[in-house]
Every structure is written in C-alpha cells, then in structure tokens.
Structure 1
Amino acid sequence: MLVLLFAVPARGDRPVPPKLDDAVERALAYLAKQQRDDGWFDHQQRPEGKDGDQSRNRRAITGLTTLAFLSAGHTPDSRSARDAGRYGPVVGKALDAMVNAVPEDGYIGKLDEKPMYTQAIVTLAVAQAYGVEPRADRRLKTHAVLTKLVEVIVAAQAVKKEPAFAGGWRYNRDAPDSDLSLSGWNALALRAAQDAGIKVPPTAIKAAADFVARCYQKEQRGFAYQPGGAVQAGTTSTGVLCLYLLDQNVRPEAADAAGTLPSRMKGEKPFGEYPCYGMFYLTQAAAQASDDVWTSAAKPILDKLVKAQEGDGGWPANWPAESSEPGRVYRTAMATLALTVPYRVLPIYQR
C-alpha cells in the first residue's frame, strides 16, 4: 500500500491501468535493491548485489531515483522505516549522499558528463525532499546547499547569449546558447527551489518561460529543441509542461501545443532515441492539459509501461529497442516517474 505524505488532490476520474499501483510498488522494490551502501545509485544494475565502480553520472541517476520514491510518497522524514513509508531510509540515504557531495561553489554538475543536467536534477530532487525534512539541523544544512545549487543555475542562465537563446540553459554553465531539454530541467529546478522557500529572482523564472516560448513553432503547433528548429513530440511535451508550471497566466502556446500531443503519439517511435525521457515529459504535460489529452496520449503510455515491466520490477535495459538511454536503473526511475503522475504527489507538478 502506498504511503502518500504530501498534501495532494484526489486522483480523479482520469483513466489509469488497473495494475498501476502494483507496478509502482514493484518498481520501487527493484530500485531499493540497487542502492549502494553509501546511498548512491548507478544507471546500471548492481552486480550480484555488490558495489562496483560508480558511473560518472551517479549524481543525476541518484536524483532521478530519489524523485521516483518521493513521487510515490516515500519521504526522508525518518531514517527508520516506521514513519516515512517503507522506503524512507532509502530516500534519506540518497538525500544525504547528494547534499554532502555538493562542493563549496555549489557546482555539483561539474563532475558529470553533462554538467547542467546533473545540476538541475539534483537541485530538483533536493528541493522536493527539503519540504518534508522535519529535523532542524538537516533542514538548515539542506537550505544552505540548495542556495548554492540555485546560485549556479541562475548564474548559468545569466551568461551573455544571443537574444534567441537568452533565458535558457545548455550542457555547460558557460555555454553561449540554450536548448529546450536542458532549459526544462533547470527551469523546473528553480521553480521547485522557489516553492521550497529558496530565494530565486522572479526575473529568472520569467526569462526561462520566455525562452521556452521562443521554441514554439506556430505553424506546427509545437516546440522545437532550439528556436527555429524542428518540432518533436518530446520537445513539445517539455514546452507544454514548462509553460503550464512557470507562468500563472498559462500562455496560449501551451494549450495549443497540448492539443497536438495525441496525434504526435501515432508514429512508431515518437520520442526517437530517448523514449523513457519522452514518456516522462508527455505524461506530466498531459496531466496539466485536458482530460482528452490525458486519455488519448498519456493513458496508452502508462498501459505500455505496465506491460513492459519485468518480473523483478525493473524495465529491460534494451526497452524500447534502439534507445540510447542508459541502463535499467535509469529506465526504471523514469518509468516510475511517469506511472506516478496520477498520484500528483510531487509539489513541482501540482499546478
């Protein structure tokens, strides 16, 4: 039975797979077994239950996995299993690992292959956990760490860029251009930190929304990876979600593009090489949109995810075929984040 500890609205009448709760429970059980003794997760399954060499991207993977547990209501508000849901200790160890790893300059992403992805994902995970951390000493330390993490994100956004790229983010913090994928994660991280009480310049949130809006292609009613580029299902999902969450007055581009999501799902590989990533964003975007978009675009994805889950609770390393995404732990974390959208537990995804 899931333990939902955030204040959330009811699931409502939107359709979900009949075995959704069971799929989430089995996914979390699989992920819990993959945690290293030091609290980290790697994108690959642990070899025979032992800790092997850690991947360079363990910080981002740990952030995503932590979000997966949080999205099902398992919080770090106890380091024992009594009060925080069955996986409270798992979340607590992962949160401690991330918080303790943040360097003095706040740039935790610099140690990974794609720095600003890691910066954003760790910031988002820590911000979501911070709100349910009751111990004063841990809250004080986490607040200080979050402040440093946010300062790096804000500074990276402020790097001088051509007008088309202003307000966004790219792989490195000093990059002179921006893309929608990196900008989506970093913008959501800022929103989550702001909601948690961390000082975030309002101009940073607005500038991020403005960049997302510049990626909109009116003729194709969708969003491109960069302004003027080709519209894709994944980038359209990212753009829709961001505009719903970043601006209280939802911009018309968001609703217009959301209406096209069902038709974008009709292709054989709508998300190209990054299907789990795309499924995560589409289900979040559809949840912000209408019942019709949810039923036509998101519900089939949830059905597909439940069907593809393996007996041990994880998703196959080669599913879907011809994907460029890394490992079973990553895929299982992203699948779980998509499946838990109907719970509406994570505060960042509650409009």
Structure 2
Amino acid sequence: MMNKRLPARHARLLALASVFVTLLAAPADAQLPNAQIGEAVPRDVREVYQKGLDYLLSIQKEDGSFGSGTYGGAGVSGMGVMVFLASGEDPNFGRYSGAIRKAVRFIVRNQDKTTGILGGRTSHTSMYNHGFAMLALSEVYGAIDERTLWRESGDVPADERRSVGQALELAVRASITSQKKNKHGGWRYGPDATDADTSVSGAVLVGLLAARNAGIEVPDEAIDRAITYFQSMTSDSGQVAYSGVGGFGVSVPRQSIACLVYALARRKDVKQFNATLGALTSDLGSASSGSYLEYGRYYEAQALFHGDVESWKKWNERLVRELKSTQKANGSFQASNGPEVGTCLNLLGLALNYRFLPIYER
C-alpha cells in the first residue's frame, strides 16, 4: 500500500538535518528552523515542555507504555511518542531516543495481527486507541531507523516484530474495513460499530490523513465519506453535533475537530470549514475554558493554527501562561483523565510552537 510519496518525506527529514548543520556554523543570533512563521520558541514554552518530557520519561513503564487502565494503552503511548517527536527529539539518537523506540515497539506489539486494530478491539476506547496510535506511527514513519527498532527487544516473538510501515499499512486497512461497516461513513468506539460520533471519527480520520501524508495509500473514497459525515454534523453557524442521537451544540472540542479535519483534508473551500473556524475565532475566550479541557486544547491549537495563525498566536499566549501556572513540580498536569493523558495533551497543545511534526505543516 505504500506509494511514491515516501521519498519526499525522507528528503524533508534530510533537509531538516542539513538546516541544523548549517546552524552550527551560523552566528549565534541565527533563526531556528522551527520559527517558520515568527520568532523562535519562547523560553517559557521550552521550560514547560522540558519539564513535561522529563515527567513522561520518569513514568514510562518497562514495556514502553504510558498510563494505565482506561487511560492507558496504545493511544496514550501514541500521544507520548508524539510529545517527544513534536519538540524535535530524534527517535534514533539522544536522551529520549530509547523512550521513543520502546513506546513504538509497545504500539506495534499491541496490534491485532489479524485485524490490524491497534490496542485491542474490546474496550469502549478501542477506536480512540487505534486513531491516536495510527497517528503516532504515521509521524514516526520515515524518521525511525527500522534496522535498530527491535534490537533491544529481547525475546519478542518474530510475528510481533513488524516494521512501522507494515504496522501502519495494517492500521489503515483496519480503519477502512471498520468504516465500510458504518452506515454514516465515520467511526464509533468499536471497530464493528454501525453508528458514529464526531469525536472518535476525528481521532481515526486525523490518523488516516497523517498516514496519507506519510506516503501510505489511503483511498480517496474513505476520506470523502468521512468528510461528508462531518459536513452533515456541522450547522451553518459552526456548531457540531456529537452523534446521531444528539443535536447541534456549542462544543469547542467538536468544533475544533471538525475545523481541523476540513483543513487537513484540504477542504478549506467548503462552507463548513469557514463556519467552524468562525465559531472558534469569534470568541476565543480563555484557553482553559469548557469541558474536556485538555482534549479541547489539543484540537483547538491545531484548528486555529491551520485556519487563522493570528488568532492562534493570541490563543497560544494565554495557553502558555496558564500551563506555566498550573504545571506541577514534577512536570505533570492534573486532569480528569489522569496526569499521563493530561500532560500529553497539554504538551501537544504547546507543540505548535515547535512545528516539527509533519501533521502540523500548514
């Protein structure tokens, strides 16, 4: 299923490496490569992020996972992988490379080798896990050295030692198989569900769009069906419904998810994109308002960045202040879904300041 776009991804990574080499010989006031639309990463952002990275490193389990119970599994481990990658950490070298590789191995080992579902299919969060884990594999694909990925894996059975590319192709296939069973063209908690909601559908669709960006073949039909579903769930005023049983309502997380998928799917020309973006920018409010706080921050940061950079800058300034004041001494953030998830989501909300992840490219 891999297509010919992969070499371009490799070229981008090599180009980034060459920029770093150039900077080593450049004057001290040379602009950093992550300053793509403005000044370099502010000190407050770097300090908050560094403390968060060290916290995640300290709580990572021996099997490579982050979190536990309901708020654990492949999805949270995928978030952890993205947090490290988002600030430019290398999966092959450096202080955090071992943690990244361990988490990637955990995600791959917990993929159903028959169905391709990442993180199991029995939990009510299975497709959330699948979507976030697929996104993480998409972001690390092409950056990690596959030749050394399993070198530290001990006695892991051979049938669990898939490459990232193989695991990602299986995950994409599983997503499409699940969507074909769904009358709405979206996704719900389980892979065999026939109903859909915009939250789970957003997690899976973003993963598919990232996989396509990484060079994995994703049928246009699958993207079109999912976007059509989101359009049907978006009102003219930019409100986004949750599922078939609920009506439209003001929800920053849902509005942000819809706005983001329209942007990533290159559908900024549809009226629903402008409606959701308008709803977000007309009242930016506080970066810490609403329910599902950290989850909302994660998506709103990306939606504003892809839709209206000036609005994102204003929103981001408040977010930095709030996170700096609420971060615990150990680098974590307290959240209703646990400090591991809360820390990952808050840091990923900050990660647009770095803009290393391919999914963050405008």
TM-score range relative to shorter protein: 0.7 to 0.9
CA shift, 1:137, in A, is 7.5
CA contact (8 A) 1:40 1:58 kept: yes
- Out of 107, 111, 134, the residue aligned to residue 117 of structure 2 is 107
CA contact (8 A) 2:83 2:347 kept: yes
- Out of 161, 166, 172, the residue aligned to residue 190 of structure 2 is 172
CA shift, 1:134, in A, is 2.9
Counterparts of residues 156-235 of structure 1 (less than 5 Å): 156-161=178-183, 166-218=184-236, 220-226=237-243, 228-235=247-254
Aligned residues: percent identity?
28
Does residue 96 (structure 1) correspond to residue 113 (structure 2)? The answer is no
Q: How many Å separate the matches in 2 of 1:18 and 1:132?
A: 27
Q: How many Å separate the matches in 1 of 2:314 and 2:163?
A: 44
Q: How many Å separate the matches in 1 of 2:343 and 2:307?
A: 25
Counterpart position of 2:48: 23
Does residue 253 (structure 1) correspond to residue 272 (structure 2)? The answer is yes
CA shift, 1:296, in A, is 3.8
Assess, with a 3 A threshold, how the Cα gap between structure 1 residues 252 and 329 changes in structure 2: closer, same or farther.
Answer: same
Assess, with a 3 A threshold, how the Cα gap between structure 1 residues 178 and 100 changes in structure 2: closer, same or farther.
Answer: same
- Per-residue CA shift, 1:71-97, capped at 9, x if unaligned? 111232x2xxxxx34211110111011
Q: How many Å separate the matches in 2 of 1:255 and 1:342?
A: 24
Counterpart position of 1:144: 166
Q: How many Å separate the matches in 2 of 1:120 and 1:67?
A: 13
Structure 2, unpaired ranges of 5+:
1-12, 17-32, 150-160
CA shift, 1:188, in A, is 0.8
Amino acid of the structure 1 residue aligned with 2:259: V
Assess, with a 3 A threshold, how the Cα gap between structure 1 residues 33 and 170 changes in structure 2: closer, same or farther.
Answer: same
Assess, with a 3 A threshold, how the Cα gap between structure 1 residues 16 and 307 changes in structure 2: closer, same or farther.
Answer: farther
Higher mean C-alpha displacement, 13-22 vs 199-208: 13-22
Q: How many Å separate the matches in 2 of 1:257 and 1:248?
A: 12
Q: How many Å separate the matches in 2 of 1:15 and 1:266?
A: 25
CA contact (8 A) 2:262 2:268 kept: no
CA shift, 1:247, in A, is 2.1
Does residue 122 (structure 1) correspond to residue 133 (structure 2)? The answer is yes
Q: How many Å separate the matches in 1 of 2:182 and 2:76?
A: 30
CA contact (8 A) 1:223 1:236 kept: yes
Counterparts of residues 290-309 of structure 1 (less than 5 Å): 290-309=308-327
Assess, with a 3 A threshold, how the Cα gap between structure 1 residues 267 and 141 changes in structure 2: closer, same or farther.
Answer: closer
SS at match of 2:163: helix
Assess, with a 3 A threshold, how the Cα gap between structure 1 residues 55 and 255 changes in structure 2: closer, same or farther.
Answer: closer
Assess, with a 3 A threshold, how the Cα gap between structure 1 residues 169 and 86 changes in structure 2: closer, same or farther.
Answer: same
- Per-residue CA shift, 1:191-228, capped at 9, x if unaligned? 1111222221111112112212222110x333222364
Assess, with a 3 A threshold, how the Cα gap between structure 1 residues 34 and 203 changes in structure 2: closer, same or farther.
Answer: same
CA contact (8 A) 1:233 1:264 kept: no
Counterpart position of 1:282: 300
SS at match of 1:121: helix
Assess, with a 3 A threshold, how the Cα gap between structure 1 residues 199 and 133 changes in structure 2: closer, same or farther.
Answer: same
Structure 1, unpaired ranges of 5+:
44-53, 79-83, 318-324
Q: How many Å separate the matches in 2 of 1:264 and 1:171?
A: 31
CA contact (8 A) 2:298 2:349 kept: yes
CA contact (8 A) 2:287 2:297 kept: no
Root-mean-square deviation over aligned CA pairs: 2.6
Assess, with a 3 A threshold, how the Cα gap between structure 1 residues 250 and 348 changes in structure 2: closer, same or farther.
Answer: farther
Q: How many Å separate the matches in 2 of 1:333 and 1:191?
A: 21
CA shift, 1:136, in A, is 4.7
Assess, with a 3 A threshold, how the Cα gap between structure 1 residues 160 and 90 changes in structure 2: closer, same or farther.
Answer: closer
Q: How many Å separate the matches in 2 of 1:266 and 1:206?
A: 32
CA shift, 1:330, in A, is 0.9
CA contact (8 A) 1:234 1:282 kept: yes
CA contact (8 A) 1:223 1:235 kept: yes
Q: How many Å separate the matches in 2 of 1:133 and 1:174?
A: 32
Does residue 243 (structure 1) correspond to residue 258 (structure 2)? The answer is no
Q: How many Å separate the matches in 2 of 1:14 and 1:262?
A: 22
Q: How many Å separate the matches in 2 of 1:56 and 1:288?
A: 28
CA contact (8 A) 1:170 1:178 kept: yes
SS at match of 2:243: coil
- Out of 26, 36, 40, the residue aligned to residue 65 of structure 2 is 40
